[in-house]
């Protein structure tokens, strides 16, 4: 069968710095009609550049120097720009990662879709309007007649991504390029969008080029997979083959780096080092420096394609005939992982942190005199406690108030009501100066390693700051005091796995993972007992995430740290946490030990959340529960149980009364009428 | 003593600025990481060329700042105690003596030997004719200007250019030898390195700029003794002299006003954005009120009040210059007080954005004091805006001075400034035939001053922005900290950045 899209030996270079960067270096792939082809890889491997090369939308300084891209036999690279415009949005549609940034905020959704229609079809106004309604309905937007006259800010994130898909579909494309389409979305919304894409593909017999770093999404969506590393494809296979027998050491490492429960008591396998800079000239295998099975040949000869199975090819010397006999493919090498083992212990009697009925409300001001017109109840009666040296994971979708909880505990946001008790001392209501003395006991690590370090301060200054502010005895101006601070900084940097020389450099010289290490070192500088981790790994690649998780786990063992781990990533919870609490709209709806909650979720929301997580292992018996709709606004929460508008098991009483506590054993509890003893 | 030194108020402030500048220089020398950043400024070719021009302006401005009163000849009474002239002169005035004293009757075009307007002349035989009269000084040495003027100008200019080239060559040789000795290479390889742009500091750019400056100065110098290179104004004063005198006024207005404005803008703007709440409300009310009053009115009122004060307290000022100077200082103050609102608003917005950044949240979590957060986290991250805004304001302020002079509330009429020159040329342009050289001179000088200030601040801003300077950043890391892999990592992060975009 003739492929729909055939890329042959594509080379794209970027002339940005002193040396040209070979962003895509000899990529060859074929996509069949009606197929989902996933391009998998870490950031900086050239995935997005491939997509932009296909669309010929390269940034300034970007050039396609070699190769051919054929869409249904038509060479795209030689097309004049005018003809190419008909291809973009017409024969090839594209969806971007950030739905918030890809829609024009001053045009209504209908106008933006109409723009595409007007460009690609000669169509009258009435017909265009009818087509817009059809498209919006097709992507599952309720009440399309009203919604098409609304502006993007009136749509939620998931709905915006649906609009983006509708725009991409407007040109009736043969190929849809989806560049990380669900990375910015929540799990339940991601499940909805992925479902939608699958349905549309089936209806329209469209090919999808899915670009992602998420193995879970690949496992759910893809028919065939290509793994990209440092600008070239290193393995292509069908999904089944790939997930059963990943052949390339890099692919195997990616799997090994994923946190899961059965790796709980051991360190995650990490890939040492970084993706090499694409400006260097490669001799031999690009992965050789990070591969623990590399031998001399890997560094001298670039490996050719080798077929390991029909339709499964890999670029690795391990599989070339006549080489060392094929090692066991699934034996994940673990030696680079620090062995961290920690048996579960029963919680101690007095918790380190005790939060009782915490409420954080933000007033909504309206009118000329800024009257308080309502309250955004970001956190509304939250109770939790964390034992010494334990990890509590706080799980929930974005907008449910988990970050606010973290900031309220840190006293960065004043709590409206409730008590926060750390190590027996009540924090809320403390004066700024009194609070200063307690600050050293609890610290925070933020999500975005790029905005959490001041770009104009050197690493030493960043780490020193907390020490100086909190330990006034260290503020000695004497040489001895300075020396001691300097030694402390060196020790900290070594502890988080950074070279000591790093302290004289500025944050921008470090990669995301290294920055996160610096942020951890900064928090550790004041010897805290509790570390609030606000999604510390969600901005990082899988292999880097593994490094950070290992570090957090080692630190917990060495220093007896307790973590409040705020996240939406269930597999991280499964790997790292002792207890977990699920949050929905400002309240905890279920909590217990990780094993209890994950194995036997009681609340319908927890069940749906867990089932929506894309699974890598072949589907188990658990049916996938698809949630309708999205998280309601915390400004006007639904009456009764907050979850009832989306709940599949809704009962009349749910609409009226907020459910009380239902206990399962001594540690597992939930708020749901289903388990109310009256029923 | 043949003179009595005079220190005017603005002189004092300028000296203070110079002292602070030198102290800052020593401070930088002591702190290696600051030194590294400033060295990066020295790596920008355009920045260094601009700095060369800027230094020339500063030099002229400083010369014009050293004021004194010369002693008068004491022949009448033969008394011992000296009487000093009521006229305050500066070093520049002395250096430009001929230019200052060669005053013609009225307008004359650049490099002309005749006046620009016809007047009735009496010839030697008593006949009256209307013709262009010869100038008293310009081209006075020529017997027949019609034939001799062009060759004379040409040869003088050539000799001037030659002189300039000679001086430049001399400097070049001397410096080249010094540089060669410092780098322990021979003279010629060093020269080759400089001119192929292989030196760390772009000496070729500096030397090219200096060559241009020296050639111009040489030619002008050779011509200026016998001609009015940029013509004369209505009262016959040399326009080149006026332009050179204007430089100090421009620099003083530009720098002092900025200095007065900055504390307001920085403190209030950042405080409003950082603290929000009622502090923000109060500061916003202040600056919206202030900016809704037409600033010209406010300035006019203030300057007129000042003028009345000066006139009623004439005994306080012993010279005209002192009066003019106090008026200039007051003008700077009032301009500063009225012009901080724009920058303040910008900074408020930026501070609003920055206070939500996670590194500031982290600082809060450490209990870092508000003052420290403002000075260590917010201020360095808004400095680029401050730098750009002040340089942009610099030209605006020089122009504002012109507008105010037009209304009659600018600098003292006895003080030469770009503003008074531009104001004068308003009528001259409407005249037939047009007198264009005053405006032209003011334009050329202001253009060079503002452009070089802009280019230099660009270079500074680039050098201090850690993200922009990635590529050149490490080669000169004087502490030798960068790890061997840092270069590779940098390119990697640059690559990733590029790929992400």
Poorest-pLDDT segment among A291-300, A406-415, B332-341, B439-448 = A291-300
pLDDT of residue A413: 87
Cα A570 to Cα A537: distance, rounded to the nearest angstrom:
12
Task: Tell me which residues of chain A, numbers 59 to 78, contact chain B at a CB-CB cutoff of 8 Å.
Answer: 59
Distance of CA B188 to the CA centre of its chain: 36
Residues B397 and B117: their CA atoms lie apart, in Å, by 35
Say whether A622 sits in a helix, a strand or coil. Answer: coil
8-state DSSP, A503: G
Largest CA distance in chain B: 97
Rg of chain B over CA atoms, in angstroms?
27
A27 touches chain B (CB under 8 A): no
User: Tokens 């006949």 sit at which residue?
Assistant: B127
The pLDDT assigned to B296 comes to 84
Chain B residues closer than 8 Å to A510 by CB: 489, 493
Q: Is 60 exceeded by the pLDDT of residue A477? A: no
Asked whether the beta carbons of residue B381 and residue A278 sit closer than 8 angstroms, the reply is no
Closest-CA residue of chain A to B378 = A454
> What pLDDT shows up at residue A11?
92
Report CB contact under 8 Å: A455, B493: no
Q: Where in chain A is the domain with CATH 3.40.50.300?
A: 353-675
A157: Cβ contacts below 8 Å, ≥ 6 apart: A99, A100, A184, A185, A186, A189, A398
pLDDT at A482 over 80: no
- For tokens 């030196």, the residue is B199
**Chain A stretch 483-502, residues whose beta carbon is closer than 8 A to a beta carbon of chain B:** 499, 501-502
What is the distance between the alpha carbons of residues B297 and A467, in angstroms, rounded to a whole number?
Answer: 52
Q: What is the pLDDT of residues A173-184, one digit of tens each?
A: 999 999 888 887
Which residues neighbour A461 within 8 Å (Cβ) at sequence distance 6 or greater? none
* Nearest residue, CB atoms, A277 vs list B372, B470, B488: B488
Query: How far apart, in whole angstroms, are the C-alpha atoms of residue A181 and residue A160?
Result: 11
- Contact at CB, B499 and A43, closer than 8 angstroms: yes
Question: DSSP character for A45?
Answer: S
The answer to whether the CB atoms of B381 and A439 lie below 8 A apart is no
A18, A432, A466 ranked by CB distance to B366: nearest: A466
Nearest CA in chain B to A520: B362
Q: Tell which residue, A253, A256, A246, has the closest CA to residue A313.
A: A246
Residue from A505, A527, A536, A544 to probe the interface with B (highest B Cβ count within 10 Å): A505
The CA distance from A504 to B422, in Å, is 51
Q: At what angle do helices B239-275 and B9-30 cross, to 10 degrees?
A: 60
Q: Is B364 part of the contact surface with chain A (CB cutoff 8 Å)?
A: yes
CA distance B149 to chain A (A): 55
Q: What is the pLDDT of residues A177-210, one digit of tens each?
A: 998 888 878 888 888 888 889 988 988 889 999 9
Looking at residue B368, what is its pLDDT? 87
Report the residue of chain A nearest B371, measured CA to CA: A469
Name residues whose C-beta falls within 8 Å of residue A22's C-beta, 6 or more positions apart in sequence: A11, A12, A13, A231, A278, A279
One digit per residue, the tens of pLDDT, for chain B of length 501 reads 678 888 888 999 999 999 999 998 898 888 777 787 788 888 888 889 999 999 999 999 999 999 988 887 665 555 556 778 878 889 898 888 888 888 888 888 888 888 888 888 887 888 888 888 888 888 888 888 888 888 999 999 999 999 999 999 999 888 888 888 888 888 888 888 888 877 888 888 899 999 999 999 999 988 888 889 898 988 888 999 999 999 999 899 888 998 889 999 999 999 999 998 899 999 999 999 988 988 888 888 888 888 898 889 888 888 888 888 988 998 999 889 888 998 999 999 999 999 988 899 999 888 888 999 999 899 988 888 888 788 778 778 877 887 888 777 888 888 888 888 888 888 888 888 888 899 999 889 988 988 898 888 888 888 877 665 444 333 333 333 333 333 333 333 333 333 333
Checking phi first, is residue A476 left (phi over 0); if not, alpha (psi -120 to 50) or beta?
Answer: beta
Distance from the Cα of B364 to chain A's closest Cα (Å) equals 7
The Cα of A277 is separated from the nearest Cα of chain B by a number of Å equal to 5
pLDDT of residue B76: 56
Chain B residue numbers with beta carbons less than 8 Å from the beta carbon of A444 are 361-362, 365
Mutate to test the interface with B, among A44, A50, A435, A532 (most CBs of B within 10 A): A44
- At B500 the pLDDT is 37
Query: What is the rounded CA–CA span in Å between residue B161 and residue B152?
Result: 14
Question: Does B483 sit within 8 Å of A44, measured CB to CB?
Answer: no
Residues 427-466 of A with CB under 8 A from B: 432, 435-436, 439, 442-444, 446-448, 451-458, 462, 465-466
In angstroms and rounded to an integer, the radius of gyration of the C-alpha atoms of chain A is 27
pLDDT digits (tens, 9 = 90+) for A56-103: 988 888 889 889 999 988 899 999 999 999 899 889 999 988 777 888
DSSP3 helix / strand / coil % (chain A, rounded to 5): 35, 25, 40
Query: Is the model's pLDDT at A620 over the cut of 60?
Result: no
Task: Write down the pLDDT at residue A650.
Answer: 86
Residue at token pair 């009349």: A652
Distance from CA of A466 to the nearest CA of B (A): 5
Assess A519–B contact: CB distance below 8 Å, yes or no: yes
* Whether A4 contacts A29, CB under 8 Å: no
Q: How confident is the model at residue A327 (pLDDT cuts 50, 70, 90)?
A: very low
Query: Are B500 and A470 inside 8 Å of each other by CB?
Result: no
Is residue B306 within 8 Å of B9, Cβ to Cβ? no
Q: What is the mean pLDDT of residues A307-316?
A: 87
Give the C-alpha separation, A193 to A100, whole Å. Answer: 15
Residue B488 has a pLDDT of 36
Whether A48 and B500 lie within 8 Å, measured CB to CB: yes
Is B395:B252 a contact under the CB 8 Å cutoff? Answer: no
CB B242 within 8 A of CB B100: no
* Dihedral sign (CA A484, A485, A486, A488): positive
Q: Do A59 and B501 touch (CB under 8 A)?
A: yes
pLDDT average, residue stretch A523-547 = 87
Residues 441-480, chain B, touching A (beta carbon < 8 A)? 466-467, 470-471, 473, 477, 479
B488 and chain A in contact, CB less than 8 A = yes
Of all residues in chain A, what percent carry a pLDDT higher than 70? 92
Q: Do A465 and B367 lie within an 8 Å CB cutoff?
A: no
Q: Which residue of A has its CA nearest to B356?
A: A451
pLDDT score at B425: 84
Q: Is B284 helix (H, G, I), strand (E, B) or coil?
A: helix
pLDDT digits (tens, 9 = 90+) for B108-143: 888 888 888 888 888 788 888 888 888 888 888 888
Left, alpha or beta for A521 (phi > 0: left; psi -120 to 50: alpha)?
alpha
Contact A451 B358 (CB under 8 A): yes
Task: List beta partners, residue B116.
Answer: none
Instruction: Compute the average pLDDT of residues A462-471.
Output: 82
> Of chain A residues 81-100, which have a CB less than 8 A from chain B?
none
What pLDDT is stored for residue A329 in this prediction? 40
Q: Which two tokens stand for residue A562?
A: 């307790």
Measured between beta carbons, which residues in chain B are less than 8 angstroms from residue A502? 483
Residue A448 has pLDDT above 50, yes or no: yes
Q: In the structure, what pLDDT confidence band is assigned to residue A565 with cuts at 50, 70 and 90?
A: very high
User: Could you give the residue ranges of the DSSP H alpha helices within A525-564?
Assistant: 542-559
Contacts of A20 (CB under 8 A, 6+ apart): A13, A14, A279
Nearest-5° angle of CA A178, CA A179, CA A185? 95
User: Mind giving me the DSSP string for A72-84?
Assistant: TTEESTTS-HHHH
Query: What pLDDT is recorded for position B58?
Result: 93
CATH H-level superfamily of A353-675: P-loop containing nucleotide triphosphate hydrolases (3.40.50.300)
Q: Do A48 and B481 touch (CB under 8 A)?
A: no
Instruction: Please indicate, yes or no, whether the overall pTM of this predicted structure exceeds 0.90.
Output: no
Domains of chain B: 262-473 (1.10.3720.10)
| DSSP annotation string for A616-642 | SSPP-SPPPPPPPS-PPPTTSPPSSST
Q: Return the DSSP state at B277.
A: H
Question: Which of A502, A509, A522 faces B362 most closely, judged by CB atoms?
Answer: A522
Element (H, E) at A373: strand A371-386
Interface probe for B, chosen from A231, A454, A539 (most Cβ of B below 10 Å), is: A454
Mention every residue, 6+ apart, whose C-beta is less than 8 A from residue A351.
A385, A386, A387, A388
B150 Cβ contact partners less than 8 Å away, ≥ 6 residues apart? none
Give the helix/strand (H/E) hosting A593: strand A587-593
Residues 405-424 of A with CB under 8 A from B: 407, 410, 412
**Three-state SS letters, A122-145:** CCCHHHHHHHHHHHHHHCCCCCHH
- Return the residue of B nearest to A43 by Cα: B496
For A147, the token pair is 């919604």
Residues A625-635: tens digit of each pLDDT: 777 777 788 88
Are A249 and A318 in contact by the 8 Å Cβ rule? The answer is yes
Q: Which residues contact A539 (CB under 8 A, 6 or more apart)?
A: A447, A448, A449, A450, A512
* Of residues B33, B361, B491, nearest to A17 (C-beta): B491
- CA geometry: angle A673, A193, A400, nearest 5 deg: 45
* Extended strands (E) in B147-296: none
Which residues, including other chains, have CB under 8 Å from residue A57's CB and lie 6 or more apart? A88
CA distance A374 to A365: 7
Q: Is A181 on the interface with B (CB under 8 A)?
A: no
- What pLDDT is attached to residue B74? 62
The answer to whether residues A167 and A107 touch, using CB atoms and an 8 Å cutoff, is: no
A143, A195, A186, A188: which is closest to A165 by C-alpha?
Answer: A195
Nearest C-alpha in A relative to B479 = A504
pLDDT for A136 equals: 92
CB A422 within 8 A of CB A438: yes
B498 touches chain A (CB under 8 A): yes
Find chain B residues with C-beta within 8 A of A44's C-beta: 492, 495-496, 499
pLDDT > 90 in chain A, percent: 19
Contact call for B365 and A412, based on CB within 8 A: yes
Residues of B with Cβ-Cβ distance to A451 under 8 angstroms: 357-359
Q: For B244, what's the count of Cα atoms within 13 Å in the CB-facing half-sphere? A: 26
Decide: A584 and A379 in contact? Cβ < 8 Å. Answer: no
Coil, strand or helix: which one is A356?
A: strand
Instruction: Note if the bond before B433 is cis, omega within 30 degrees.
Output: yes
Beta strands (DSSP E) in A251-338 are 305-309, 312-315
Q: In chain B, count H helices and then E strands.
A: 20, 5
Q: Judge contact between B319 and B86, C-beta under 8 A.
A: yes
Q: Which residue in B363, B477, B496 is closest to A465 by CB distance?
A: B363
Question: Three-state SS for B61?
Answer: helix
Q: Could you tell me the sign of the dihedral formed by the alpha carbons of A100, A104, A105, A107, in that order?
A: negative
Number of alpha carbons in the 13 Å side-chain half-sphere of residue A76: 27
């Amino acid at each position: 069968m003739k492929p729909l899209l055939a890329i042959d030996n594509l080379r794209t270079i970027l002339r940005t710095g002193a040396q040209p960067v070979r962003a895509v270096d000899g990529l060859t792939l074929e996509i069949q009609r009606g197929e989902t082809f996933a391009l998998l890889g870490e950031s900086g491997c050239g995935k997005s550049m491939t997509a932009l090369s296909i669309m010929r939308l390269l940034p300034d300084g970007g050039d396609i120097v070699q190769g051919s891209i054929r869409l249904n036999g038509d060479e795209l690279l030689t097309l004049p720009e005018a003809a190419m415009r008909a291809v973009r949005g017409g024969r090839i549609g594209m969806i971007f990662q950030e739905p918030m940034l890809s829609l024009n905020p001053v045009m209504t959704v209908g106008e933006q879709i109409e723009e595409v229609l007007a460009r690609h079809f000669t169509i009258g106004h009435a017909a265009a309007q009818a087509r817009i309604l059809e498209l919006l309905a097709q992507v599952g937007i309720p009440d399309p007649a009203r919604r098409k006259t609304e502006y993007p800010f009136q749509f939620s994130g998931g709905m915006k991504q649906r609009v983006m898909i509708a725009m991409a579909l407007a040109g009736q494309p043969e190929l849809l390029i989806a560049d990380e389409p669900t990375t910015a979305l929540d799990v339940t919304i991601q499940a909805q969008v992925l479902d939608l894409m699958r349905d549309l593909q089936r209806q329209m017999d469209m090919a999808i080029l899915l670009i992602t770093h998420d193995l879970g999404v690949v496992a759910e969506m893809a028919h065939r997979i290509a793994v990209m590393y440092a600008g070239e494809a290193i393995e292509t296979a069908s999904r089944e083959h790939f997930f059963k027998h990943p052949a390339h050491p890099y692919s195997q490492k990616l799997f090994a780096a994923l946190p899961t429960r059965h790796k709980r008591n051991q360190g995650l396998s990490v890939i040492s080092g970084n993706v090499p800079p694409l400006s260097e000239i490669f001799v031999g295998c690009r992965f050789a420096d990070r591969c623990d099975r590399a031998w001399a040949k890997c560094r001298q000869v670039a490996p050719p394609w080798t077929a390991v199975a029909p339709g499964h090819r890999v670029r690795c010397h391990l599989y070339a005939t006549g080489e060392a006999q094929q090692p066991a493919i699934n034996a994940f090498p673990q030696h680079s992982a620090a062995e961290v083992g920690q048996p579960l212990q029963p919680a101690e009697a007095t918790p380190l942190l005790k939060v009782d009925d915490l409420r954080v409300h933000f007033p909504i001001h309206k009118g000329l005199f800024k009257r308080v017109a309502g309250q955004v109840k970001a956190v509304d009666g939250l109770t939790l406690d964390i034992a010494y040296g334990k990890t509590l994971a706080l799980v929930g979708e974005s907008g449910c108030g988990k970050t606010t909880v973290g900031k309220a505990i840190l006293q960065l946001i004043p709590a409206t009501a409730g008590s926060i008790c750390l190590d027996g001392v009540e924090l809320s209501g403390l004066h700024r100066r009194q609070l200063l003395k307690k600050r050293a006991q609890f610290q925070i690590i933020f999500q975005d390693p790029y905005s959490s370090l001041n770009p104009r301060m050197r690493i030493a200054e960043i780490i020193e700051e907390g020490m100086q502010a909190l330990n006034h005895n260290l503020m000695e101006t004497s040489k001895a005091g300075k020396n001691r601070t300097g030694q402390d900084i060196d020790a900290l940097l070594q502890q988080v796995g950074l070279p000591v020389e790093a302290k004289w450099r500025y944050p921008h010289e470090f990669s995301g993972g290294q920055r996160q290490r610096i942020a951890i070192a900064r928090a550790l500088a004041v010897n805290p007992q509790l570390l609030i981790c606000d999604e510390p790994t969600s901005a990082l690649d899988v292999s880097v995430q593994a490094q950070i998780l290992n570090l957090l786990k080692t630190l917990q063992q060495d220093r007896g740290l307790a973590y409040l781990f705020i996240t939406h990533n269930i597999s991280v919870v499964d790997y790292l946490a002792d207890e977990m609490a699920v949050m929905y709209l400002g309240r905890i709806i279920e909590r217990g030990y990780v094993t209890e909650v994950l194995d036997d979720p009681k609340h319908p929301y927890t069940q749906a959340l867990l089932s929506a997580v894309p699974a890598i292992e072949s589907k188990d018996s658990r049916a996938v529960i698809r949630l309708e709709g999205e998280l309601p606004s915390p400004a006007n929460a639904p009456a009764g149980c907050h979850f009832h508008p989306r709940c599949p098991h809704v009962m009349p009483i749910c609409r009226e009364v907020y459910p009380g506590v239902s206990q399962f054993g001594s540690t597992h509890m939930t708020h749901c009428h289903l388990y109310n003893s009256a029923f | 003593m043949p003179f009595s030194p005079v220190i005017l108020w603005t002189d004092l402030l300028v000296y203070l600025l110079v002292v602070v500048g030198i102290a800052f220089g020593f401070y930088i020398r002591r702190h290696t990481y600051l030194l590294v950043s400033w060295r990066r400024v020295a790596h920008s070719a355009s920045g260094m060329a601009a700095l060369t021009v800027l230094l020339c302006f500063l030099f002229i401005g400083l010369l014009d700042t050293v004021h004194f009163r010369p002693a008068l000849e004491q022949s009448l009474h033969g008394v011992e105690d000296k009487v000093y002239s009521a006229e305050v002169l500066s070093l520049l005035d002395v250096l430009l003596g001929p230019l200052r004293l060669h005053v013609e009757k009225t307008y004359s075009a650049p490099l002309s030997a005749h006046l620009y307007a016809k007047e009735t002349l009496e010839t030697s035989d008593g006949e009256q004719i209307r013709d262009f009269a010869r100038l008293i000084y310009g081209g006075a040495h020529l017997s027949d200007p019609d034939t001799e003027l062009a060759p004379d100008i040409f040869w003088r200019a050539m000799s001037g250019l030659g002189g300039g080239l000679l001086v430049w060559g001399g400097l070049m040789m001397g410096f080249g030898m010094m540089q060669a000795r410092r780098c322990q290479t021979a003279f010629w390889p060093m020269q080759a390195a400089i001119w192929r742009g292989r030196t760390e500091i772009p000496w070729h750019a500096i030397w090219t700029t200096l060559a241009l400056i020296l050639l111009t100065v040489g030619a002008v110098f050779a011509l200026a003794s016998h001609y009015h290179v940029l013509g004369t104004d209505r009262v016959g004063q040399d326009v080149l002299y006026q332009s050179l005198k204007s430089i100090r006024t421009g620099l003083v207005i530009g720098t002092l006003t900025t200095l007065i404005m900055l504390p307001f803008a920085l403190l209030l703007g950042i405080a409003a954005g950082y603290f929000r709440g009622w502090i923000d409300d109060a500061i916003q009310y202040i600056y919206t009120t202030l900016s809704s009053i037409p600033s010209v009115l406010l300035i006019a009122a203030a300057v007129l009040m000042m003028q009345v004060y000066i006139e009623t307290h004439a005994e306080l000022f012993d010279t005209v210059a002192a009066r003019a100077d106090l008026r200039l200082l007051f003008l700077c103050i009032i301009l500063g007080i009225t012009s901080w609102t724009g920058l303040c608003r910008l900074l408020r917005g930026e501070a609003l954005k920055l206070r939500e950044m996670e590194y500031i949240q982290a600082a809060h979590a450490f209990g870092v004091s508000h003052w420290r957060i403002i000075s260590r986290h917010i201020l360095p991250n808004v400095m680029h805006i401050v730098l750009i805004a002040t340089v942009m304001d610099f030209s605006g302020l020089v122009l504002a001075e012109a507008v105010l002079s037009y209304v009659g509330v600018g600098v003292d009429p006895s003080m030469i400034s770009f503003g008074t020159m531009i104001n004068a040329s308003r009528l001259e342009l409407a005249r037939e035939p047009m007198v264009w050289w005053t405006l032209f001179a003011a334009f050329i000088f202001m253009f060079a001053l503002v452009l070089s200030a802009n280019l230099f601040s660009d270079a500074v801003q680039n050098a201090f922005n850690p993200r922009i300077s990635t590529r050149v950043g490490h080669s000169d890391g004087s502490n030798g900290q960068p790890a061997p892999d840092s270069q590779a990592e940098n390119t990697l992060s640059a690559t990733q950045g590029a790929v992400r975009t």
